[in-house]
Amino acid sequence: MVDLAAAGSAVALLAGSLDAWLWVVPGLLIGLVFGAMPGISVSMAMALVLPATLYMEFLPAIIFLTSVYTGAGFGGSVPAVLMNIPGTSSAVATTFDGYPMARAGKHNEALGLALVSSCLGVLGSYIVLFFLVQPIAELVLRIGPFEMAAIAIWGMVLLGSLGGKSLSRGLFAAGIGVLLGTVGMNTAGYLRGTANIPELLDGIPTIPAMVGLLAASQLFGLVNTHFLVEAEEDRQISLSRIVAGGMMTFKHPRTLVRGSMIGALVGAAPGVGSSISNLLSYAEARRASKDRDSFGKGNPEGVIASESANSSSEGGSMATMLALGIPGGGATAILLAAFAMHNVVGGPRFMDQNRDIVYAIILSNFAQAVLLLFVGTAFVYCASSIVRLPLRFLIPCVLVMATMGSFAMEGSIAGPMTLFVFSVLGWLMSSAGYPVAAVVVGLLLGRLIETELLRAWQLAGGDIGEVLNHPWALVIIALMVLSLGFSMWQDSRRRRVEDITAG
């Protein structure tokens, strides 16, 4: 599985190239800063630094870009924890428990948790990649519409669980989200729900809608509050508490390993990897927990689950990119562009002929994960000072930044308009006690589920029995049913024990 000779050459290659190391810390810092800015995505941060790599050697250029990728991957979690703004769709689940922790004065611990989970997630996924780069790539080729539909349905099951105590409101919000996610032209060419607005042809802009629903709506609710953290003694920025938060990660090794595995495997699926993996990991962590009700109210496990999965998606998407030459998303597409700028063509042939370079990229990512721990700690220490800023200053600044970020995403006024419409919708729904997160998840998964179901339906020629010819899809559905059944059994057992204790 591991080509030892190539791995040895990779170590020699890295040891002999000072340039490759010089760019790691600047890359991480650039990634962290850009990733933490609402509206600047990982791929945008990488695109901005791409021209700078033109005059570098191939290996330092790729290492620099992967450093930006790693840094930005975690950077997006900082506003998710501190301001409920998921910079990218892969940080959505981080807001569920990270933000409640921050509001409760545990911002230091939440950021420490997120950082260590991210570093371990990156490290874990690259370790998996180091040993299994080829099998993972082969597995990706087997993921067809049936398997993707099964994964998406697994995500759908999560929607109900976001409803908290009121299942009907959770499902209602999720249904509205799924409907909103299908607005526009579907893959079969049918145009629905656009109200003759040309900007909606490709669907509702997801990132501005998501930021509006989760962040802007929350900010409106904070207008009568003075600080993000109300108690003055909780507003401290403490390195020891950040470190203590990071250490808490090790108390939940199962959540961490499960999140990393989900991230590495689902992250390898082109297109949707990281945006769905953090949600699946969160749902699984909640399902497996004995204290399910505390999820969404500041449970550290929620942060670990989300962060370990979204960061390990990087390794998964790199597997697809390196072994198959298929960019799973914007970030890996930019890496492929950097390959092209250096007259290198990614894909199976590159993998076969330059295995030492592939291993060098993977090994340098081990180092990046370790360095991120130190650079990231310094970064979150500075970033967490935001809790000391009075909200009367913070609210307009964040709303303006979110508006400009939405403009940057869409390149037109459609972004800010979407942001506004969805911030009002989010504010109204959260005031009425609806789980806004369910709308966000529905919005993210709606288009994906429709696309994959449609492909599966067309391939099967309308015959539902065709699913029996896709064992992987059946395995995914069986696992989902088993895990749901197990959690229901655990629930009923716990209730019985509670009844006996109370009686």
Partner 1 sequence: MRGAAWRVAWGQLALVTALAAFALAYLVDARTVSLSVNNLLLLQPTAILVLFLWGVIAIGCVSRAPAGEASPAPADWRATLRVVGMVAAFGFFILSLERVGYDIAMVLFVSAALWIGGERRPLVLVLFSLIFTAAAIFGFRALVPYPFPTTLI
Contacting positions for partner 1 (CB under 8 A): 40, 44, 48, 168-169, 171-172, 175-176, 178-179, 182-183, 186, 188, 190-193, 216, 220-221, 223-224, 390-393, 395-397, 399-401, 403-404, 407-408, 411-413, 416-417, 419-420, 423-424, 427-429, 432-433, 446, 449-450, 453-454, 457-458, 462
- Least separation in angstroms between residue 174's CB and partner 1 is 9
Residue 25 CB-half CA count within 13 A? 9
As to burial, measured by CB atoms within 10 angstroms (0-12 exposed, 13-18 middle, 19+ buried), residue 139 is middle
The CA–CA distances, whole Å, from 444 to 119, 129, 131, 155, 345 equal: 26, 27, 32, 10, 32
Q: Are 409 and 207 in contact (CB under 8 A)?
A: yes
- Least separation in angstroms between residue 204's CB and partner 1 is 12
DSSP state of 212: I
Nearer to partner 1, 74 or 422 (CB): 422
- Least separation in angstroms between residue 100's CB and partner 1 is 20
- Tokens linked to 69: 């990728």
Nearer to partner 1, 348 or 390 (CB): 390
Nearer to partner 1, 25 or 156 (CB): 156
- Tokens linked to 9: 């050459």
Residue 18 CB-half CA count within 13 A? 0
Report the amino acid identity of residue 287: R
- Least separation in angstroms between residue 114's CB and partner 1 is 24
- Tokens linked to 249: 């990660």
- Least separation in angstroms between residue 276's CB and partner 1 is 16
- Least separation in angstroms between residue 399's CB and partner 1 is 6
- Least separation in angstroms between residue 172's CB and partner 1 is 4
- Least separation in angstroms between residue 223's CB and partner 1 is 5
Nearer to partner 1, 412 or 469 (CB): 412
Q: Are 480 and 154 in contact (CB under 8 A)?
A: yes
Beta strand pairing status for 191-192 and 184-185? antiparallel
- Least separation in angstroms between residue 240's CB and partner 1 is 33
Nearer to partner 1, 245 or 446 (CB): 446
Nearer to partner 1, 182 or 332 (CB): 182
Return the sign of the alpha-carbon dihedral for residues 98, 104, 108, 112.
negative
105: left (phi over 0), alpha (psi -120 to 50) or beta: left
- Tokens linked to 418: 């979407």
Q: Are 398 and 83 in contact (CB under 8 A)?
A: yes
Query: Which is nearest to 207 in space by CA: 43, 447, 443?
Result: 443
**Integer Cα distance of 293 and 302 in angstroms:** 12
- Least separation in angstroms between residue 195's CB and partner 1 is 8
3-state secondary structure of 37: coil
Nearer to partner 1, 109 or 410 (CB): 410
Residues 6+ positions from 408 with CB-CB distance below 8 Å? 39, 40, 44, 415
Return the sign of the alpha-carbon dihedral for residues 401, 407, 410, 415.
positive
Q: Could you give phi then psi for residue 123, rounded to 5 degrees?
A: -60, -50
3-state secondary structure of 184: strand
CA dihedral of residues 370, 373, 379, 385 (deg, nearest 10): 180
Nearer to partner 1, 223 or 231 (CB): 223
- Least separation in angstroms between residue 503's CB and partner 1 is 29
- Least separation in angstroms between residue 497's CB and partner 1 is 30
Report the amino acid identity of residue 345: V
Q: Are 42 and 330 in contact (CB under 8 A)?
A: yes
Q: Are 78 and 362 in contact (CB under 8 A)?
A: no
Nearer to partner 1, 130 or 427 (CB): 427
Nearer to partner 1, 123 or 216 (CB): 216
Residue 408 CB-half CA count within 13 A? 17
- Least separation in angstroms between residue 471's CB and partner 1 is 23
Nearer to partner 1, 14 or 439 (CB): 439
Nearer to partner 1, 135 or 221 (CB): 221
Nearer to partner 1, 48 or 344 (CB): 48
